[in-house]
């Protein structure tokens, strides 16, 4: 059984407005997806979050998005492939500069929100994102959604010379294709700690999830995401960390 890396979205505050409980979550995760200023964050928040991740030896990933501060990056923006390539490259470069200033380094890229979902659905968007990564550093893995069938994404990534890290979510509902249920739908986000922990355990041990259409879904993932923006989520992060640690111990 492959050990899952635990990741969380970080650095999503903006000026005096605070989003998330980064200081409480960071000690329990392996990877921090740090916002790059387009959907959240600012230069001060970015650098502070990079420093916090480095203090806890947490791997740092760029979390680029469409230019949508008002919508928190959850709305698709009509961008051409060239525009997507350039906006991703811009954000990755900005976070890499903060990493360099703090004596750390960027380890991967995980798009945020609508860009993340569009990338899974639209090959043109996916290729634009991979071109940005390749232009900056082709050795950086791209984190993307583990779905029922990842063949197309694997083929595209191979053509572009990019490594993929497949991601599953402990606190999101899935549809029959293995994609995330829209946040506009009831039940799209899990809030019950027991349900979140059970879903995390099922993903980690290769057991099926039940999708929104009632079908079974087994996800092959490299990393597991959980959100840490409230007290219940922080408790879930701790419990998932303990569960993953226990699973990694020899029998």
Separation CA 71–CA 176 (nearest Å): 27
Could you tell me the residue ranges of all domains in the chain? 5-248
pLDDT at 233: 74
Separation CA 6–CA 61 (nearest Å): 13
Yes or no: say if 209 and 199 are a contact pair by the CB < 8 Å rule: yes
Give helix then strand counts, H and E, for the chain.
Answer: 8, 9
Q: What is the pLDDT along the chain (251 residues), one digit of tens a residue?
A: 568 999 999 999 999 999 989 999 999 999 999 999 999 999 999 999 999 999 999 999 999 999 999 999 999 999 999 999 999 999 999 999 999 999 999 999 999 999 999 999 999 999 999 999 999 999 999 999 999 999 999 999 999 999 999 999 999 999 999 999 998 898 898 888 899 999 999 999 999 999 999 999 999 999 999 887 667 778 889 999 999 999 988 76
Yes or no: say if 234 and 21 are a contact pair by the CB < 8 Å rule: yes
pLDDT at 56: 98
Buried b (16+ CB within 10 A) or exposed e, 132-141: bbbebeeebb
Domain 5-248, CATH homologous superfamily name and number: Glycoside hydrolase/deacetylase (3.20.20.370)
pLDDT at 191: 85
Show Cβ contacts of residue 204 under 8 Å, excluding neighbours closer than 6 positions. 1, 4, 224, 243, 244, 247
pTM of the complete model: 0.95
97 three-state secondary structure: helix
């Amino acid at each position: 059984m492959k050990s899952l890396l635990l990741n969380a979205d970080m650095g999503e505050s903006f000026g005096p407005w605070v989003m998330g409980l980064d200081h409480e979550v960071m000690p329990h995760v392996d990877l921090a997806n740090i916002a790059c200023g387009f959907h959240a964050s600012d230069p001060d928040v970015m650098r502070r979050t990079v420093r916090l991740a480095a203090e806890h030896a947490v791997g740092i990933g760029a979390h680029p998005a469409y230019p949508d501060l008002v919508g928190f990056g959850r709305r698709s923006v009509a961008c051409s492939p060239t525009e997507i390539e350039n906006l991703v490259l811009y954000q990755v470069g900005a976070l890499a500069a903060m990493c360099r200033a703090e004596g750390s380094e960027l380890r991967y890229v995980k798009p945020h929100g609508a860009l993340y979902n569009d990338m899974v659905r639209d090959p043109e968007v996916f290729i634009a994102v991979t071109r940005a990564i390749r232009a900056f550093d082709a050795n950086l893995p791209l984190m993307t959604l583990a779905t029922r069938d990842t063949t197309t994404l694997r083929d595209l990534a191979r053509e572009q010379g990019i490594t993929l890290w497949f991601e599953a979510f402990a606190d999101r509902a899935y549809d029959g294709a293995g994609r995330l249920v829209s946040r506009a739908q009831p039940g799209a986000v899990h809030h019950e700690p027991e349900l979140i922990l059970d879903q995390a355990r099922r993903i980690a041990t290769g057991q099926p999830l039940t999708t929104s259409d009632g079908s079974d879904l087994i996800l092959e993932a490299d990393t597991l995401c959980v959100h840490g923006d409230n007290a219940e989520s922080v408790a879930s992060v701790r419990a998932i960390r303990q569960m993953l640690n226990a699973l990694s111990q020899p029998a």
